[in-house]
């Protein structure tokens, strides 16, 4: 019986339709089903993932007291209940300040797979990225000193850091690394991954047609790899972006912009770096116009959008943590 089950699994794994082969040839890569293989991709050898670090990192991710005002957490802009985003065109932070460049909050789900973090790609990994929003004046507006003072004022946090890191000194960088360790686990395998791994029934006929159209139109020239994005690419290569006047973002020094992931794209509106596009249909057709120099019909856009539905992944179960109580030495909230 055990042999028969293994044989059936092997048969599925070895099944490769022409579309599966075409997708893989286009550079599309599934999230591994095997936990050990997945951890090789998401782990940080310099700071290996452990249960203690993930637990602590989750608490810090949700802790608004890390912000100057005491009102904003990482989850404020990267809401894990709503696709890892805040749902507004430009992120809103300290003193109800909108991002000065009118930049949209990218999803934190699957960010571990990105080769570049932030829209201009200035951070190489989630550890470095986690330090930015905490200190940014329009976001959490905190200082490294504030972060350390908050964490070390609460005995339970001190105890949890000791459990996670031993006698390692609690620093701002260590706090950011711990948040990043939690973020590294926010991976969302989807029906699409099952399809690429050999399960032909994981996608319906419309989704397969959409995947075929997605490949044939050339979308995989940017949206490729395991994240279907996350790399730096030129933007507006065939025509100017229709909403380029909203905000002043022009990419990095070479004019390159990070390609957003398409995983869970159905849950992360509004779209583009400035959040100026409200619907997937418009986003798909605008990308065809400005990146590929082609017109994508309504029917083709509908099929591609159906394919995007297969990228809706299973989210990790997140139970809102009960955070440690403040003490007399915890810095007081400052909304000014």
Give me the domains of the chain, ranges plus CATH numbers.
17-33+189-309 (1.10.760.10), 38-183 (1.10.760.10)
Average pLDDT over residues 290-304: 98
User: Coil, strand or helix: which one is 97?
Assistant: strand
Residues 6+ apart with CB under 8 A from 257: 119, 120, 232, 233, 234, 235, 249, 251, 273
Helix, strand, coil tally for the chain in percent (to 5) = 45, 5, 50
Burial of 37 (0-12, 13-18, 19+ CB in 10 A): exposed
User: Coil, strand or helix: which one is 330?
Assistant: coil
Q: How far apart are CA 189 and CA 293, in angstroms?
A: 32
Average pLDDT over residues 40-59: 97
Catalytic residue list contains 312 = no
- In 122-266, alpha helices (H): 126-135, 144-152, 155-165, 172-183, 191-196, 205-216
Average pLDDT over residues 228-243: 97
Beta strands, E only, the chain: 92-93, 97-98, 232-234, 256-258
Q: Among the options 127, 139, 183, 286, which is catalytic?
A: 139
Average pLDDT over residues 61-85: 98
Average pLDDT over residues 94-98: 96
Do 14 and 176 contact (CB within 8 A), yes or no?
Answer: no
Confidence of residue 16 (pLDDT cuts 50, 70, 90): confident
Average pLDDT over residues 171-197: 98
């Amino acid at each position: 019986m055990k042999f028969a089950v293994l044989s059936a699994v092997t048969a599925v794994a070895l099944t490769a339709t022409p579309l599966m082969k075409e997708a893989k040839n286009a550079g599309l890569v599934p999230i591994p089903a095997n936990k050990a293989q997945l951890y090789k991709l998401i782990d940080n050898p310099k700071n290996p993932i452990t249960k203690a670090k993930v637990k602590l990192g989750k608490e810090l991710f949700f802790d608004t007291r890390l912000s100057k005002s005491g009102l904003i957490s990482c989850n404020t802009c990267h809401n894990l209940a709503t696709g890892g985003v805040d749902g507004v065109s430009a992120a809103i932070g300290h003193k109800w300040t909108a991002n000065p460049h009118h930049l949209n909050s990218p999803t934190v789900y699957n960010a571990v797979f990105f080769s570049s973090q932030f829209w201009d790609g200035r951070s190489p990994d989630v550890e470095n990225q986690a330090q930015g929003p905490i200190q940014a004046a329009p976001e959490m507006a905190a200082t490294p000193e504030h972060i350390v003072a908050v964490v070390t004022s609460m005995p339970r946090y001190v105890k949890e850091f000791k459990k996670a890191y031993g006698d390692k000194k609690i620093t701002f960088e260590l706090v950011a690394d711990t948040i990043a360790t939690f973020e590294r686990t926010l991976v969302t395998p989807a029906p699409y991954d099952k399809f690429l791994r050999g399960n032909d029934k994981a996608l319906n006929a419309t989704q397969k047609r959409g995947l075929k159209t997605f490949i044939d139109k050339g979308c995989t020239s940017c949206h490729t790899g395991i994240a279907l994005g996350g790399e730096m690419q030129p933007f507006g290569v065939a025509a100017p972006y229709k909403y380029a006047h909203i905000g002043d973002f022009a990419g990095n020094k070479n004019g390159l912009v990070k390609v957003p992931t398409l995983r869970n794209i159905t849950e992360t509106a509004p779209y583009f770096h400035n959040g100026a596009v409200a619907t997937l249909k418009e986003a798909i057709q605008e990308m065809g116009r400005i990146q590929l120099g082609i017109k994508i019909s309504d029917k083709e856009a509908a099929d591609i959008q159906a394919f995007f539905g297969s990228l809706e992944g299973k989210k990790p179960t997140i139970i809102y943590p009960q955070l440690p109580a403040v003490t007399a030495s915890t810095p007081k909230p400052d909304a000014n």
